[in-house]
Amino acid sequence: MKTGDVRILWLFVFFDLPVGTRKERRDASRFRHFLKDDGYMMLQFSVYARVCRGEEAVDKHLVRVTRNLPAQGSVRALQVTDRQYGRMKLLLGEAGKNERVAPRQLVLL
């Protein structure tokens, strides 16, 4: 990578949130809507990912996720390179429409 090139990274957010009460369901729904509105695509229920242009963008989005965390539950984040993301294997099911791209082609949402 030449100087000045921007490293493409993927930021994953994984979560398990309680939904037993009306407030918990509302909080979980708000969190999912925040992720969608912030450019994340749902890979699976409770697994969202978005493209980031460099470490600074990852840090910015981690701060945004942290500010929008629900009161309870478990939320994790994982950063991977575009190359690592490209090596992900779909073992069962079908890729979502946002994931269907030609090899080595990046989709910015």
| CA–CA gap between residue 80 and residue 69 (Å, rounded) | 21
pTM of the model: 0.83
Residue closest to 60 by CA, chosen among 36, 72, 77: 77
Q: Specify binding-site residues for Mg(2+).
A: 16
Neighbours of 17 (CB within 10 A): 19
Binding-site annotation: residue ranges: 16
Going by pLDDT thresholds of 50, 70 and 90, the confidence category of residue 109 is low
Domains of the chain plus CATH, in order, are: 8-86 (3.30.70.240)
Looking at residue 37, its amino acid is D
- Cite the DSSP H helix spans in the chain: 22-37, 55-67, 82-86
Tell me phi and psi for residue 24, to 5 degrees. -65, -40
Q: Mean pLDDT, to the nearest integer, of 77-82?
A: 97
Give the pLDDT confidence of 6-34 residue by residue, as tens digits: 899 999 999 999 999 999 999 999 999 99
Average pLDDT, the chain: 89
User: Using one digit for the tens of pLDDT, what is the confidence trace for 50-59?
Assistant: 999 999 999 9
